[in-house]
Amino acid sequence: MRLPAAGQRGRSACFWDREHRRSVSTSTWRIMRPDDANIAGNVHGGTVLKMIEEAGAIISTRHCNSGQGEPCVAALARVERTDFLSPMCIGEVANVSAEITYTSKHSVEVQVNVMSENILTGAKKVTNKATLWYVPLSLKNVNKVVEVPPIQYVHKEQEDEGRKRYEEQKLDRLETKQRNGDVILPVINPEPHTVGYSQSSLIHLVGPSDCTLLGFVHGGVTMKLMDEVAGIVAARHCKTNIVTASVDAINFHEKIKKGSVITISGRMTFTSNKSMEIEVFVDADPFVDEPQERYRAVSAFFTYVSLSKEGKPLPVPQLLTESEEEKRRFEEGKGRYLQTKAKRQAQLQQAAQH
């Protein structure tokens, strides 16, 4: 299927554009309630991530069922690095818009933007931009990945750029899975500001309300739990109000089935003057009639900042590393921090030139 030629683009072309856009984009709205926020009134990063994933799941599932293939549900495979550009507060309305920007044979890339609105003043601000990858799983056979209907590109460059992003995330997912053998062990009488002092775990029994039509956990539910654990680690380290600043790529390695017991574990890996990096794992134990052993399902790095009562950034206590492993993880975290900082400065310089 091709775009109409330039000379043919009249009312029929405008109608086609509208119909095509409906199939590859969607928007949802929701008012932020007290149970969405921390004690300072800032909306939890996990709540925002859950809304982002829900919008992505809606648009990708809708698109994957728009062709002639068998019925399917889109499952979250990966979330690219997500920055929290501005805090959202209780009473504000979140507008989450999602658009499909690339499709491969078996995956869908979705770009999601989150905007908050103060409905008393009308003031609006962009709070998040995220990129998510989904794979469509058959309703008849959950282990079967079905083919994705292709989308139309206005310019060939858009397809080429999307293919490049697809190959990059595919390689990164493989590398992340290969280094996922770490476990977090309890520490007896740890000293303040050490890794052992702030590390935390949460155990959750996966119920029907956590799951998709296929009986597997929603990606948004998992990310919300991960953010909760990372927030506990950050709060224990700082003893102040903390907020999510960014999430590095979240990789969903294996599906988590209804009835499983999941353990979400977090530990501090790096601190700069004003930020903390926290590594979070999700391990799943099949619980009912399942011979499968415990496995690593999801992994990611969260970055938090410490805030005063007035919402101003505070210095972060430096992490005290003790073992060689902790020192290695600290240096790796420092490398990620410096890389992100350099990338952000390059983007600012590029924006200033334009």
Domain boundaries, the chain: 20-171, 190-349
pLDDT tens digits, 59-85: 999 999 998 889 999 999 999 999 999
Query: What is the arithmetic mean of pLDDT over 206-225?
Result: 94
pLDDT confidence of residue 149: 95
Helices 219-238 and 45-64 cross at an angle (nearest 10°) of: 160
Q: Quick check: do 20-171 and 190-349 share a fold?
A: yes
State the chain's mean pLDDT as an integer. Answer: 88
Confirm whether 180 is a catalytic residue: no
pLDDT confidence of residue 286: 86
pLDDT confidence of residue 178: 52
Q: Residue 145 corresponds to which tokens in the numbers above?
A: 């990945």
pTM: 0.86
pLDDT tens digits, 101-140: 999 999 999 999 999 999 999 999 999 999 999 999 999 9
Contact 145, 136 (CB under 8 A): yes
All residues at 6 or more sequence positions from 94 whose CB lies less than 8 Å from its CB, including other chains: 29, 30, 31, 32, 43, 48, 51, 88, 114, 115, 116, 127
Residues in a beta bridge with 112:
98, 130
- Phi, psi torsion values for 206, nearest 5 degrees: -75, 120
Give percent of the chain with pLDDT exceeding 70: 90
pLDDT tens digits, 309-323: 888 899 999 999 999
Contact 207, 258 (CB under 8 A): yes
State which fold the 190-349 domain adopts: Thiol Ester Dehydrase; Chain A (3.10.129)
Catalytic residue among 227, 241, 251, 283: 227
Ranking 175-189, 249-263, 268-282 by mean pLDDT, the lowest is 175-189
Catalytic residue among 17, 38, 65, 113: 38
21 or 213, which is more confident = 213
Residues in a beta bridge with 76:
134
Confirm whether 248 is a catalytic residue: no
What is the CATH code for 20-171?
Answer: 3.10.129.10
pLDDT level of residue 354 (50, 70, 90 thresholds): low
